[in-house]
């Protein structure tokens, strides 16, 4: 069965909708520029609504150790998601220092990005393939609602599990899974009514559709 991660949750209602629908992962964004950003203290309250068996993921963008440590001092996370330009060595350092499994996001636009992703297989527990952000100064590293060519990752074999992300919604995930072969899906903007505003009905629809693929 397809696994689902709902990322960028910031309200108890969103947490409840995601977990009751059957999401396997819930994501909290600790990146101040994101419209989905939450503080460590907010995450504490949100995490109380996450039932056992659902993994709590903290998303960071090029964090220093202090930023991660501050969050972990307040809230227990099951995964650290690194969504910036972290090098292979930096991912290794974070994974070793904090003793938590790491999801490493790789921005995909062409074949060269697939080759680059190979370098992270030995230091990541899950790879996450997302669309490369637009080339603007205010672009966010993820959550832009952009889709990349799923054929780029079709047919590849990886030593680690991987998630598909980037512009997914309930309407296109059947095609996305058919083309890419993904067994795990990550969504943020695709279940929103506006930037950072999660839509309860869209969350339910996405998870239901994914689970029936």
In the residue annotation, 130 being an active-site residue is answered as yes
CA dist 165 and 158 (Å) reads 16
In the residue annotation, 7 being an active-site residue is answered as yes
CB 18 within 8 A of CB 26: yes
Which residue reads 């680059």 in tokens?
Answer: 116
**166 in the Ramachandran plot: left (φ > 0), alpha (ψ -120 to 50) or beta?**
left
Listed residue (151, 205, 208, 160) closest to 180, CA to CA? 151
Tell me which of 24, 130, 169, 186 is the catalytic residue.
Answer: 130
Catalytic residue ranges: 7, 130
């Amino acid at each position: 069965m397809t696994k689902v991660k709902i990322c960028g949750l910031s309200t108890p209602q969103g947490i409840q909708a995601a977990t009751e629908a059957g999401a396997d992962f819930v994501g909290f964004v600790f990146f101040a520029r994101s419209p989905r950003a939450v503080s460590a203290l907010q995450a504490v309250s949100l995490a109380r609504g996450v039932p056992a068996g659902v993994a709590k993921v903290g998303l960071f963008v090029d964090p220093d150790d202090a930023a991660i440590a501050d969050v972990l001092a307040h809230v227990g996370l099951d995964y650290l998601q690194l969504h910036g330009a972290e090098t292979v060595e930096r991912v290794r350092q974070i994974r070793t220092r904090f003793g938590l499994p790491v999801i490493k996001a790789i921005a995909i636009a062409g074949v060269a990005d697939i080759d680059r992703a190979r370098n992270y297989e030995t230091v990541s527990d899950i790879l996450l393939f997302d669309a490369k952000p637009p080339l603007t100064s205010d672009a966010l590293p993820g959550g832009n609602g952009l889709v990349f060519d799923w054929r780029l990752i079709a047919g590849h074999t990886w030593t680690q599990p991987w998630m598909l992300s980037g512009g997914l919604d309930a309407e296109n995930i059947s095609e996305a899974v058919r083309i890419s072969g993904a067994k795990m899906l990550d969504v943020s903007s695709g279940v929103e009514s506006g930037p950072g505003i999660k839509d309860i009905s869209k969350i339910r629809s996405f998870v239901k559709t994914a689970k029936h693929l």
